[in-house]
C-alpha cells in the first residue's frame, strides 16, 4: 500500500501564507510503499490536488517507495505534463535502484529529472531555503 502526504514548511518556520509570492515554496510529497496498478489511481488524484495548490517546484520524494511499475511511471509522466502546463517544475528525489533502472529502460530518465540516487542507496533530498511540505 502506498501512503503519501504533503507537508508545508517555509523559511524560518513561517506560515505558508506569509511566504513572499516572488519566491514560491517548493512542495515535497513523500511517497511510501508500492506505486503500482492498485495504488496509482489514488496517487494520481492526490498529485492533481497537490498541483492545484502548488505555486513552486514539486518534488516527489521516492526514497521510501519500495516499488514502481509502469502504471506508476504513467502517473509520474502525467503529473509532469500537468505540472509543466502550470509552469511548475517536477523533480523526483532519491528513487531506489529498481525505479532508476525502470526509468533508464523506458528512456524516462531523460524526461524526468531525478536527484539523490545513482543505483546506490537513496540519499536524502536537500531542501531549498523555502519549502512547502505538509497538508
Any idea what the CATH number is for the domain that residue 32 is in? 3.30.750.24
Q: What is the pLDDT of residue 23?
A: 60
Q: Are 108 and 73 in contact (CB under 8 A)?
A: yes
Positions in the chain whose pLDDT score sits under 50: 1-4, 6-21, 118-135
Does residue 83 belong to any structural domain of this protein? yes
Does residue 114 belong to any structural domain of this protein? yes
Strands (E), the chain: 3-4, 26-35, 58-68, 90-93, 113-115, 131-132
Q: What is the pLDDT of residue 61?
A: 97
Does residue 33 belong to any structural domain of this protein? yes
Burial class of 31 by CB neighbour count within 10 A (0 to 12, 13 to 18, 19+): buried
Domain of 68 in residue numbering reads as 26-125
Total domains in the chain come to: 1
Q: What is the pLDDT of residue 33?
A: 95
pTM over 0.85: no
Does residue 82 belong to any structural domain of this protein? yes
Does residue 15 belong to any structural domain of this protein? no
Does residue 1 belong to any structural domain of this protein? no
Q: Cα–Cα distance between 109 and 95 in angstroms, integer?
A: 11
Q: What is the pLDDT of residue 117?
A: 60
Amino acid at each position: 500500500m502506498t501512503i503519501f502526504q504533503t507537508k508545508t514548511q517555509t523559511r524560518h518556520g513561517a506560515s505558508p501564507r506569509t511566504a513572499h509570492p516572488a519566491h514560491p515554496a517548493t512542495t515535497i510529497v513523500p511517497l511510501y510503499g508500492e506505486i503500482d496498478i492498485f495504488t496509482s489511481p489514488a496517487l494520481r488524484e492526490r498529485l492533481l490536488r497537490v498541483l492545484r495548490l502548488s505555486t513552486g517546484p514539486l518534488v516527489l520524494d521516492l526514497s521510501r517507495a519500495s516499488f514502481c511499475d509502469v502504471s506508476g511511471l504513467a502517473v509520474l509522466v502525467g503529473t509532469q505534463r500537468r505540472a509543466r502546463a502550470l509552469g511548475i517544475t517536477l523533480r523526483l528525489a532519491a528513487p531506489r535502484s529498481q525505479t532508476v533502472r525502470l526509468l533508464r529502460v523506458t528512456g524516462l530518465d531523460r524526461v524526468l529529472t531525478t536527484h539523490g540516487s545513482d543505483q546506490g542507496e537513496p540519499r536524502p533530498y536537500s531542501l531549498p531555503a523555502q519549502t512547502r511540505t505538509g497538508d
